Chains A and B, each alone.
Chain A
């Protein structure tokens, strides 16, 4: 399909959001990924989330590393600046961009090769620092662009397309994110847009390091029997702990849930997240219990999805650094240069 130009004319009756944009205004160039690729569904979910949140497209900066997933920022938010950087190094570039202008929304898109292998260090340290970002790993357990090598998130014993079993332990990015102090941790499945869109929306609204691991099957190299990242496998083993249905200020709570089935968690700005509980007694604000629960379910072979952890009292790197409210890239000589009088004083002190 990639040879077809995307039509630019929109239907006049397309719905507009509060800031006057149609959903089409959040799209990008036509995807060059394989037909059926999970990543395209994630791009669509990002488009949907940004449109629903009434975000002006140019207020988002999209950053990525290298790989199939890192190509996707071309395919959504065409009116946003994007930066397809170096393999495994999106987190540092995003950190720097965020420091330069704290007012934009930073969306980091990466893959399991980009983040769990070559970029594991930068993933870890950007999370540790609490960079205000949405960090999405489009996780398919395989290197696509280089034709099917295992990645570090491939489960032990899972089989490659050629039938070779992986003998290495998988790298658990959710577990790492929790340990490293991510204040918003979610896992979803590219085939479950209903679950994914609200998770992305809430992550955008979250202040601090928000990490979403999205299992996203690779139709070309990792969608066969024996794979644990295929559509069939994930559908079969997906255990959602909750459904993030509502974000305060958008919809009325109309659902017909019995009391006790819905839990509300306040975000830093006062916004409420309403979670429909699927697993009884699952408390997404208790980090220790969350880690224990996830380990238990993983041992039972389940892929736990949903909003796994949220720190309602989150903070971010700018808060830690005590930077001024104005974006650093807008400060001018007046604010930055101490001037000649001060320099004379400095000179005098050096004599």
Chain B
């Protein structure tokens, strides 16, 4: 039988039952490979459930550093009888199936073109442990031990990870090491070690860090000076708020008094959460909320108020599959339209699109500067794929000379000196007015904030010209935002290219890999990663410079393309959508297939080009 032979380049998928303690064992597997200097990118594929339903953990091992989901599986660790058939089916021909053979399974359950490796895990556990919970938990560690032997993973790295994890908990440390060795020894004695998938020590990890996007975003909020956070639990953003709580406990407690330099409220719903964040922003604190699509829908009225009343607030949208409850535990990039134009009335909002945990950290911190500079809501658009999976990323960086940009705030001294204050007065021509914090001056600078029309001095007005004047200034302000949001990044093709590609956010790792593959196949594509909205002129120029542009997105309705046409006024006939929206992260294979097909169909030079 054919056997896949691959060193430092394969995909392992663990099929488990959720609530069985498999998550930490699987992460241990991934981390041990990382410690051998080989990049890994794990992904959780989990149900909206607490216990008893199928869950998967897919680990891509790739020395080159490709971190997108590859597609296909080389080894399945089948620990869930419920999904056996589906799991076995997914294995690439010549791949491997590691399973528990404590109970014999009929031949029909297997595939002829897959190498089956049976190990009596349940039997071993039952013989070793009497406590049912231990039998369950250590089964996971035992299979990690067996895999280490089968794939030549250095067991010392795993034991070192144990000793870091169970520092000071000697009993736990020893019992885990025992289980690991149990599995390892059994495999070495009874199974053909190694199999064709092997890990070889390398030096491709460097100083990178292994972290999830939600934790990184939360840390960015700490570094960015957020003091007020209000949130409502919703997958996949809950772990962001919880990470913020954890970070604040570590880094935001006054050492002298033990008191907190932060306030976090778990709201009664998303309406209250955004309301609290807006109230705090109005009163001069840096505030944010973290949510997902359904939360954004609920917040619409408030977001419109914040836009019109010009209140800084940061909203992190960890996107998931919609509409409605959609696919709450799967990933998508499908909230672009609802965030870009959130609210009734005419609104436009600033959005940032981080590609990985490093940018989650950077953009989260920057979002607070932008929100206060522009006095408006700023959206940080991540998704489940970045948010809830650990990624190998560049280390976080912070320049200690960096000062927060608190925007245009008139102080007591300004007011006392007689400086003219009009809350909605465009003094600098950039559309951004000055504001005052409540309580600044006894006689000057107070104003009444409303969501209804006002004149430049914040006086109530229902006059049409005042409304138009204000709306035009808000548009000018949005133009100013163009100069402040992160610029798109160009990755030019190795050779002159007729095709361009635009992508953003979590598509990035799969896209980088796809571009390499395409280039090797002779399809050269200039690629532009959009990192912010409103779109800079470079984006329209990039579109204009190519006959065809692929817009790669993870949603059905080509939402970025819609925005490009609507906001950057690019020619829609040049834009070819590559859309992936089944809830799984987009793969390089998918992008390559789609672009190859499009490219093949467009080998002819368009008429327009010929005549012009």
The residues of A with any CB-CB pair to B shorter than 8 Å are 56-59, 61, 63, 73-74, 78-86, 89, 91-101, 103-104, 121-122, 124-125, 129, 318, 321-325, 328-333, 335-340, 342-344, 346-347, 350-351
Residue contact B284 to A321, C-beta cutoff 8 Å: no
Residue contact B227 to A350, C-beta cutoff 8 Å: no
Quick one: which of A79, A80, A122, A350 has the most chain B CB within 10 A?
A350
Take A81-B449, A100-B227, A103-B439 as given contacts and tell me if A324 and B260 are in contact as well, using a CB distance cutoff of 8 Å: yes
9-residue interface stretch from B53-61, B78-86, B217-225, B602-610: B217-225
9-residue interface stretch from B129-137, B140-148, B391-399: B391-399
Chain A residue with minimal CB distance to B399? A340
- Chain B contacts of A344 at CB under 8 A? 395
Residue contact B210 to A350, C-beta cutoff 8 Å: yes
Take A324-B261, A351-B209 as given contacts and tell me if A85 and B275 are in contact as well, using a CB distance cutoff of 8 Å: yes
Docked pose: A298 CA to B160 CA in angstroms: 70
Take A56-B442, A84-B448, A328-B263 as given contacts and tell me if A89 and B285 are in contact as well, using a CB distance cutoff of 8 Å: no
- Chain A contacts of B263 at CB under 8 A? 99, 318, 321, 323, 328
B207 lies within 8 A of chain A by Cβ: yes
Residue contact B228 to A96, C-beta cutoff 8 Å: yes
B440 lies within 8 A of chain A by Cβ: yes
Residue contact B265 to A346, C-beta cutoff 8 Å: no
Docked pose: A324 CA to B254 CA in angstroms: 8
- If over half of A's interface residues share one DSSP class (helix, strand or loop), that class is named, otherwise mixed; here it is helix
Chain B residue with minimal CB distance to A28? B448
Residue contact A92 to B279, C-beta cutoff 8 Å: yes
B94 lies within 8 A of chain A by Cβ: no
Residue contact A125 to B275, C-beta cutoff 8 Å: no
Residue contact A100 to B451, C-beta cutoff 8 Å: no
A57-B446, A92-B275, A323-B262 known; 4 new pairs, CB 8 Å cut-off, are A82-B449, A129-B265, A333-B225, A344-B395
Residue contact B251 to A342, C-beta cutoff 8 Å: yes
Take A93-B276, A335-B261 as given contacts and tell me if A100 and B225 are in contact as well, using a CB distance cutoff of 8 Å: no
B404 lies within 8 A of chain A by Cβ: yes
Docked pose: A336 CA to B247 CA in angstroms: 12
Residue contact A331 to B396, C-beta cutoff 8 Å: no
Residue contact B438 to A95, C-beta cutoff 8 Å: no
B403: which of A61, A63, A95, A333 is its contact (CB, 8 Å)? A333
B397: which of A81, A332, A335, A343 is its contact (CB, 8 Å)? A343
Residue contact B302 to A100, C-beta cutoff 8 Å: no
Residue contact A338 to B210, C-beta cutoff 8 Å: no
B180 lies within 8 A of chain A by Cβ: no
B611 lies within 8 A of chain A by Cβ: no
Chain B residue with minimal CB distance to A104? B439
What are 14 A-B pairs with beta-carbon distances under 8 A? Answer: A58-B442, A84-B450, A84-B452, A85-B278, A94-B279, A95-B276, A98-B279, A100-B284, A122-B268, A323-B259, A332-B404, A333-B402, A337-B398, A340-B400
Residue contact A343 to B275, C-beta cutoff 8 Å: no
Residue contact A329 to B302, C-beta cutoff 8 Å: no
- Which are the 5 A-B pairs with shortest beta-carbon distances? A96-B279, A92-B275, A100-B285, A81-B438, A329-B284
- Chain A contacts of B542 at CB under 8 A? none
B530 lies within 8 A of chain A by Cβ: no
B305: which of A86, A91, A346 is its contact (CB, 8 Å)? A86
- Chain A contacts of B271 at CB under 8 A? 89, 92, 121-122
Nearest Cβ distance between residue A140 and chain B, in whole angstroms?
22
Residue contact A121 to B268, C-beta cutoff 8 Å: yes
A82: which of B283, B402, B448 is its contact (CB, 8 Å)? B448
- Chain B contacts of A58 at CB under 8 A? 438-443, 446
Residue contact B395 to A99, C-beta cutoff 8 Å: no
Chain B residue with minimal CB distance to A32? B460
Docked pose: A121 CA to B267 CA in angstroms: 11
- Chain A contacts of B207 at CB under 8 A? 347, 351
- Chain B contacts of A322 at CB under 8 A? 258-260
